[in-house]
Amino acid sequence: MTNRRRVFATAIILVLIGVHECELVRDAEDWPICTYSMYAGLEQEWAITTNRLVGVREDGGEVPLQAARYLYPFDQSRMAGGLDVILWAPDGQRRMIEALRDVLRRYEVRRRSGAHDGPHLVGIRAYRVRHELEPDANNFARPSRRQLLSEVLPG
């Protein structure tokens, strides 16, 4: 390797190390190869809180809308995070109602076209649910806490 290439390679390595060190000092994650803090903390709670959508049938009964075929083009994990983003917006409640109407409309269009076999829905509700973690997840259908965030019902 020529001396010129050696100097160039050393300069690039030093710049990368310098940028990485600056990010560490700032405790920022703007650089693609910085430390990723997602798993850096110890989980203190044996519970999970997330957002869930349920459909409302004509008889008032609720149908969980977790399956991707019901939420297409979304899925449950993106929907749960998206609902949080909507709620934190300045006009979050209005946006939440618009989003729920859109999900309900998409659900019904896909149901009528035969894309899924879910029941006819007349409304939709968004809940924030909390589940205590159990090894076999037997309590999935029974959250320990359920808070209504918003709903779209007929009338």
CB count in 10 Å sphere of residue 87? 17
All structural domains of the chain with their residue ranges: 3-39, 47-152
Q: Could you tell me the mean pLDDT of each successive run of 10 residues in the chain, 155 residues long?
A: 90 86 72 60 78 92 87 82 88 92 92 91 93 77 86 85
Residue 81, C-beta contacts closer than 8 angstroms, at least 6 positions apart: none
Model's pTM, two decimal places? 0.68
For residue 62, the model assigns a pLDDT of 92
User: CB of 96 within 8 A of CB of 86?
Assistant: yes
